[in-house]
Structures are given as C-alpha cells and as structure tokens.
Amino acid sequence: MENILEVKNLCKKYDNFELKNVSFSLPKGMIMGFIGENGAGKTTTIKAILDIIKSYSGDIKIFGLNNRIDDDKIKEDIGVVLDDMFFPEILTPNDINNSMKYIYKNWDSKMFYNYLKDFSLLPNKQIKTFSKGMKKKLEIATALSHHPKLLLLDEPTSGLDPIARSEIIDIFQKFIENDECSILLSSHITADLEHIADYITFINNGEIILSKTTNELLDNYGIVKCSEKQFKLIDKKDYIKYRKTKYEYDVLIENKNNFKTKYSIDVIDKLTIDDLMVMMIKGE
C-alpha cells in the first residue's frame, strides 16, 4: 500500500520537551487519528511535517517528496487546519477567497462559496463577528477549497456542536472516497475517531507508543475487570497495563481470544479509545 505521508525518526528538542524518534506512515485513501494528552507532541509533529518549525532531525516525506527540499511542490496539495491557526479578524470570507486565488493554483471559488452556504457563513461578515465554531468551519472550508490530496488537521472539530461535527465528519469521509487522498486528524474527541479513523497513532510525552489499525484495537484489545486474587494469577506478559481501582483491577490486554482461552474468563469489556489513552498513560 502506497504511503502519502512518512515520518521517520523525527526528533526536536526544546528546553522542557522533546520529540523522540517519532515514526509513522499514513497510506493513501486512509484517515489516521493522532491522539495524546495536551502537550504530548501532536501539534509539534504536525508543524514539523509542514516545516513550520525548524532545527529538527529525521526524515519526512509527503507524496514521496522531501518536505524541506520540495516544499513549494508539496504545499499546493496540502490542506491545513491548526488549533492555533487564525485569519485576521477584520477580514471577511470574501477577502479570504480573493487572497487564496493568488496563493493556490487550484483554488476553487465555487467550492468555497458552496461550503460557506452549507456552513451558514455569510461571505460579507467580518470574521470577528463569528463564533469559535464558525471560525473553525471557515478554516475547514478554506483547507478543502483548493483540492488538496492530504489534510493535516489539528483539532478541526473543536468548538463545534454534535450536529456540526457530524456534518464535518461526513465531509472528511467523502474527501477520501477516491482512495487518492488522506487525512491526519488530531482530536481529543475520540468517539469521532472510532467512527472514521482507519488508523490510530498514539503519542505520549514526545514518543509514539502505539500505531495500529482502528479495527485491530477495537476488535482485539480489551479491558479485564478482576479481583486482586485473579490479577495475581495473570502472567505479566499477557497484559499491557493495569490500574488498581477502589474495588477491582482494570487490566488492558492485547488479544481477547488468547486471554479467554488461557484464563477461562468470559467477560472482557470492549475497548474505547478513551480507555486506551487512560490505561496507557495512567496504568502501571
């Protein structure tokens, strides 16, 4: 399967934080959910992919091209929504359209105004009059309206109500329908990722601790709830992490079928991505 994005051994050091050998690949036609706590390194990684931050080591290829050397060729085909991205608030969507026509060769004004209509955004209203959710919709409309092949999205549904989030998710799913386009999607709303992400990549304290298909995680992983006596009978190699609660132990396992066979345990709770994050970060 051809990769649209490859990150290999990405390292970046700050005074109080460090990306450590971050590596993952995003195939064509796929959506990757990029998860982790605040400050885990998601935004720093995305900015390195975009070559916004400098002085990092490692190799990043987009469309098979080096993101530093072939910067001009690449950026035409990337749509971006960053969590700290903003347009000058005195501008209107009309101003955005007029500016983008000169930035992107493939800028599609018709598509842009269709998104404005779908999102109920008035083209002649100043951005300062928009709510946070409306501003986010404007950023998404702008990112999509030059026909990119790769979307890099940092909290794109932040500030949106459930109905608006559902509309945006439908747009993202339609975006990848031709199997030529892909999305790297950082989000704290993990329930959304369970529905649309083909892969989940988990970063913690600057390191990738897991990168797997969503189906593999949700179908094979699970949470076993057991007593202290039962927990002491479980071999350490048969679980990933555990947490001791007030009344029982929660145990994260990687292979439900093997675990059931070995320990004669019938009830294993289905894993959610929220469960995965809590157990991997807080578990022992």
Per-residue pLDDT tens over the stretch 235-275: 999 999 999 988 899 999 999 989 988 987 778 999 999 99
Mean pLDDT of the chain: 92
Q: Are 277 and 202 in contact (CB under 8 A)?
A: yes
How much is the pLDDT for 45? 95
Neighbours of 258 (CB within 10 A): 12
pLDDT band at 10 (very low <50, low <70, confident <90, very high): very high
How much is the pLDDT for 72? 75
Per-residue pLDDT tens over the stretch 127-182: 999 988 899 899 999 999 999 999 999 988 887 888 888 899 999 999 999 889 99
Contacts of range 48-57, beta carbons closer than 8 Å, 24 or more positions apart: 48/10, 48/12, 48/19, 49/5, 49/7, 49/152, 49/184, 50/75, 50/78, 50/80, 50/152, 53/12, 55/12, 56/10, 56/11, 56/12, 56/19, 57/9, 57/10, 57/11, 57/12
Say yes or no to pLDDT of 70 above 80: no
Nearest CA to 156 among 171, 137, 177, 175? 137
How much is the pLDDT for 266? 72
How much is the pLDDT for 238? 94
Q: Are 151 and 183 in contact (CB under 8 A)?
A: yes
Say yes or no to pLDDT of 11 above 90: yes
pLDDT band at 1 (very low <50, low <70, confident <90, very high): confident
Say yes or no to pLDDT of 69 above 80: no
- Determine the average pLDDT of the residues in 201-223: 95
pLDDT band at 87 (very low <50, low <70, confident <90, very high): confident
Phi first, then psi: what are they for 65, rounded to 5°?
-110, 150
- Determine the average pLDDT of the residues in 28-35: 96
Can you say how many angstroms the Cα of residue 125 is from the centroid of all Cα atoms in its chain?
A: 31
The residue with tokens 């993202």 is 172
How much is the pLDDT for 67? 84
b vs e for 170-201, b when ≥16 Cβ sit within 10 Å of the residue's Cβ? eebeebbeeeebbbbbbbbbbebbbebbbbbb
Report the alpha-carbon distance of residue 243 to residue 238 in Å, rounded: 15
Domains of the chain: 3-217 (3.40.50.300), 221-282 (no CATH)
Triad 4, 45, 21: Cα angle to 5°: 90
pLDDT band at 205 (very low <50, low <70, confident <90, very high): very high
Residue 101 structure tokens: 């026509």
Q: What percent of the chain has pLDDT over 90?
A: 71
DSSP codes, 7-50: EEEEEEE-SS-EEEEEEEEEETT-EEEEE--TTSSHHHHHHHHT
Can you say how many angstroms the Cα of residue 156 is from the centroid of all Cα atoms in its chain?
A: 9
How much is the pLDDT for 169? 92
93-100 and 109-118 helices, crossing angle to 10° = 160
How much is the pLDDT for 55? 86
End-to-end CA distance of the chain: 36
